[in-house]
Chains A and B, each alone.
Chain A
Amino acid sequence: MSGSATKTPGWLVWAAFVLPVILLVISLNVGPYHIPLREVWTTISHGTPSGPAGAPSPYADILFRIRLPRLLLALFAGAALAVSGASLQALFKNPLVFEFSLGISYGAAFGAALSLVFLGKGFPPQLAAFAFAIMAVLLVLVIAGKSASQIVPILLSGVIVSALFQALLSLVEFFANPYALQSLIFWLMGSLAAAVWGDLALTLPIIALGVVILILLRWRLNVLSLGDEEARALGVNVKWEKILVIGVATLTTAAATSVTGVINWIGLIVPHLVRMMVGPDNRKVIPLSAAFGASLLIVADDIARSAASFEIPIGILTSVVGIPFFIVLLRRSGKTWL
């Protein structure tokens, strides 16, 4: 962390990673079935999904089979969405770019839905999610053409591509049988409820890999955010590194979306809040986005599970907060960004 020019010390950036872990442990206590904190602790410290003396414990079952996978998914998906958003904002030197405005969210959602409905549960939906998410980004870049470095044209292209994939999604819904349709619609609204270990086995490692790669690229993103011409003059292989960042950011988002459905706005809100706190240096923004994105999604999921007698789809929750946030940012565009 040496040489960063703002006041936040480097160790604080890495210390922030304790926050999502603490929140995860606390959140194990949140849910319709009350488990006393003491019991949470004894069950975890036992470490096995069975109670003392080999007898099956109801606590262990709830904690390990229901709450832990769900919270881990929240942690990883939150980090994935926030880090991808922050990286894409730097790469496109456009603070309003994130998974949704590049069409990645709905491209991935369409791919995953297509896979779930036509290839069945046995086939990993991450594959099709990634393929269509990449297709969506490329389409946005082609439509935006030479104005891809400007804020508004790329947002417009993103809206068009998102609309296209939402229409295709409706088509998939139309052909899905009523039983599949119900779970498809609930999944699309964004939900962590579906988290089971089987789905996570592929998704979590992909997200972990992607987030680590983007964190390693954190300083390089400062250079890339100066624009293609300057980065090239500074000796960067712009084309290859752009492909790398877009590819990894899309892959992590697609891996998350294929399990959680569409959870928007995390990739916009978190990096902006982080920049307000520590300034624009991506050496801090990228790791802190991971830590705070994970934390935010855990808290949002706690609210989704406990605020009402029914479960609020988390994608709706994040949109309700994210959209006013976006409007405020859009009105500020043209002025300088932190």
Chain B
Amino acid sequence: MNIRVENLVFSYDDFRLEIGSLVFAESRVTSIVGPNGAGKSTFLKCAASVLPAPRRSLFVDGKDLTVLRGRDRAKLVGYVPQEPSFTFNYAVLDFVLTGRAAFIAAFSSPSARDVALAEDALHYVGLNGRSRRPFLELSSGERRLVLIARALAQEPDILLLDEPTSFLDPRHEVETMALCRRLAEEKRKTVIVTLHNLEMAVRYSDAMVFMKGGRVVASGPPAEILSESLLRDVYDLDMKIVECAGQTFFVK
């Protein structure tokens, strides 16, 4: 399903997020890039209803996301935070099971089917055999995958991932981005990721959104919108775009 943003305005302290009109397409990976403080994470949190977005600012399949009940919204939109703050060191499977919250009544507990879905999600991200391990015993690359597995167990049409590759080594970075592509292509999810690594963004996404100061500067397929002047505008830094071995590199 598409997610459509219309006149989304959200402010706190002296920061103001203002997005006029933007559409994220089904079965596509869209990366949101821009300097720190551009409003990337704030936008994702608004879309995930972690922060309150104003009415009639977010639509999924024509439905106003902001007026839906929590559990109905969570069936449409899944959110993968950067790193959860952890007090209790749950086993990986128990953690992934919390992704089923929207389907399980408050006074009830997960069924065998919920457990099977959580196991499937772990299998899909390549973490079979880890389900009984305590979450904090995993490497940070594996923890990211567990977070993605939880969002998959939630079975949303739209997946929002907040910097899924930060602090990862190059191999895990590539694997995580490849997973995002598989989610879009195999599972037909609308995948939206915020990223700092421009090379990864260009290589793995169908569309890019450049943000700065709470606003969208440019959006569209990378080949159409990328230019050295855009990069200078967004990052206040001169970068050269270099094509090499079929890939795009940015020389600072």
Given A223-B98, A235-B102, do A2 and B49 touch, yes or no (CB 8 Å)? no
In this assembly, does A232 line the interface, its C-beta being within 8 Å of a C-beta of chain B? Answer: yes
Expressed in whole angstroms, the Cα–Cα distance for A219 and B154 within the complex equals: 16
* Contacts between chains A and B (CB distance < 8 A), count: 116
Within 8 A of B (CB), among A224-247: 225-227, 229-237, 241, 244
Chain B interface: which size bin? 35 or more
A219-B109 contact given A94-B87, A235-B74, CB 8 Å threshold? yes
B88 adjacent to chain A (CB < 8 Å) = yes
Q: Is the CB of A234 within 8 A of B114?
A: no
Q: When the two chains form their complex, are residues A219 and B104 in contact, meaning their CB atoms are under 8 A apart?
A: yes
B40-83 CB mask vs A (1 if < 8 Å, else 0) is 00000100111000000000000000000111111100110100
Question: Which residues from 86 to 101 on chain B have a C-beta closer than 8 Å to any C-beta of chain A?
Answer: 86-94, 97-99, 101
Interface of A is mostly: loop
A13 to chain B, nearest CB (A): 12
List residues of chain B with CB within 8 A of the CB of A3: 93-94, 97, 110, 112, 114-115, 118
B12 at the A/B interface (Cβ < 8 Å)?
no
**Is B131 a contact of A234 with CB atoms below 8 Å?**
no
Say whether A90 contacts B88, CB under 8 Å.
yes
Return the contact of A6 from the options B69, B81, B110, B132 (Cβ within 8 A). Answer: B132
B110 adjacent to A2 (CB under 8 Å): yes
Q: Nearest CB to that of A238 among chain B residues?
A: B70
Of the residues A2, A93, A241, contact of B106 by C-beta under 8 Å: A241
The verdict on B136 contacting chain A, using a C-beta distance below 8 Å, is yes
Q: How many residues of A contact B (CB 8 A)?
A: 40
Partner of B132, one of A5, A93, A234, A338: A5
How far in angstroms is the closest Cβ of chain B from A104? Answer: 20
Q: Footprint of B on A, CB under 8 Å? A: 1-6, 90, 93-95, 213, 216-220, 222-223, 225-227, 229-237, 241, 244, 275, 279-281, 283, 336-338
Other than the known A6-B91, A229-B50, what 18 A-B pairs have Cβ atoms closer than 8 Å?
Answer: A3-B110, A3-B114, A5-B132, A219-B108, A220-B106, A220-B107, A223-B98, A234-B99, A235-B73, A236-B101, A236-B106, A237-B70, A279-B134, A280-B90, A281-B94, A336-B89, A337-B87, A338-B89
23 CB < 8 A contacts A-B? A2-B110, A3-B93, A3-B112, A3-B114, A5-B132, A6-B132, A93-B85, A93-B87, A94-B87, A216-B108, A217-B106, A217-B107, A222-B90, A223-B101, A233-B50, A234-B99, A235-B72, A236-B70, A236-B71, A275-B88, A283-B109, A336-B89, A338-B88
